[in-house]
Amino acid sequence: MNHFIALLSLGSASGTLCGFLRGRRLGALAAALALAWFFAGPCAAQDRVYPKQGVAASGKITELNPQTVKISVRNKEQSYELADVRKISFDDEPSGLDRARENVLLGQYEQALEEVKKIPLEGIENPLVKQDVEFYRFYCEGKLGLTGGGDKIAAVQGLLALVQANRQTHHLYEASELLGELALALGQPQQAARYFGVLLSASSEETQAIGRYRLGEVELAQGKAPEAKARFQELLDAPSQTPQMIRIKSLAEVGLAVCDNLAGNSQQALDDLAAMVQSHDSTDQGLFARINNAMGACYESLGQPKRALLRYLQTDLLFFTDAEAHAEALYHLAKLWPAAGEPARAAEARERL
């Protein structure tokens, strides 16, 4: 009996000891979780730089301008060329803002505009966050304006006000390129040249090349085909072979064919464009929209309106995501459908312009 009582006492003492140790372990775990929450909380709301290649850097942005972004990560500064950055997010920004950024990167401008319109500017203390909300609102308005779904004038006014108020905005080159596109769409090629010219001041070779290509487009719109051809040829002769430069060179190659067609070498231009169809990736909607439009123009020059119509129709049905090229195709379809006995489709094309 005494032995049994001793065992009970031992068991009771052991249970008490286990309970005590268990309590100590739970207390230590709770303390560790509290510390983890304390230290992880601020980290979750840090500034972030997302490069096009590699992992995102989280920390505190120390410098941000049209050329570069610098971010302090664990007291060590990292620097990125903005041309190599996919996106930047900021500490304590509204959650809808990053959804808007992602939508813009995917070309989903309507969804992006819906997101930024939900964000009230009142109460936003970080000027960079406020600037981003305003930028994406007017940027999306402008992109939609190029397709007839947004207010081009409001977009121009908004983007100009943003750039004038923030001379060193990291959105300078994106805003300038879109302002140039909008100016062209509004029939203001001289203004377009001014905006596209801003891109030539970039430190990035690719951004400069985009500016040169866009200036070639302006010269075509002004009827200056020889000047445009020289600019496109300069781009093709550039030694750089980065993926972005290769794409810009492909666009310049289409531009050269357009110049050749305007100079009366329509069959040669058509042959060059047909070769591009065989050698390039048709998933590049912007490039193939321009190839098809250029082929349509060649067929028109050669007196083959039905073939021209089919090329513009391909842009309309298959490569419509590039707003500028799609609008060009619709313009030509509106002219060509009546001769094909389809006046209703001509009216529809005009309506969609």
pLDDT in tens, 41-83: 434 469 999 999 999 999 999 999 999 999 999 999 999 999 9
- Which range, 9-23, 258-272, 338-352, is most confident? 258-272
- Say what the pLDDT of residue 13 is: 40
**pLDDT reading at 263 higher than 60:** yes
- pLDDT category at 22 given cuts 50, 70, 90 is very low
- pLDDT category at 148 given cuts 50, 70, 90 is confident
pLDDT digits (tens, 9 = 90+) for 150-196: 899 999 999 999 999 999 999 999 999 999 999 999 999 999 999 99
User: What is the rounded average pLDDT of the residues 92-98?
Assistant: 94
Higher pLDDT, 323 or 16: 323
**pLDDT reading at 11 higher than 80:** no
pLDDT above 90: percentage of residues in the chain: 83
**pLDDT reading at 142 higher than 50:** yes
Closest CA to 184 of 156, 162, 206, 205: 156
CA 8 to chain centre: 74
- Say what the pLDDT of residue 45 is: 60
User: What is the rounded average pLDDT of the residues 197-208?
Assistant: 97
Region at 297 (left for phi over 0; alpha for psi -120 to 50; beta for the rest): alpha
pTM: 0.84
- Say what the pLDDT of residue 353 is: 78
- Say what the pLDDT of residue 274 is: 98
Fold of 47-89: SH3 type barrels. (2.30.30)
Please check whether residue 336 is in contact with residue 305, taking contact to mean a CB–CB distance below 8 angstroms: yes
Spell out the long-range contacts of 206-212 with Cβ–Cβ below 8 A and sequence spacing 24 or more. Answer: 206/83, 206/240, 206/242, 206/244, 206/245, 206/248, 207/83, 207/173, 209/235, 209/238, 209/240, 209/244, 209/245, 209/248, 210/177, 210/248, 211/177
Instruction: Tell me the average pLDDT of the chain.
Output: 89
- Say what the pLDDT of residue 264 is: 97
**pLDDT reading at 23 higher than 50:** no
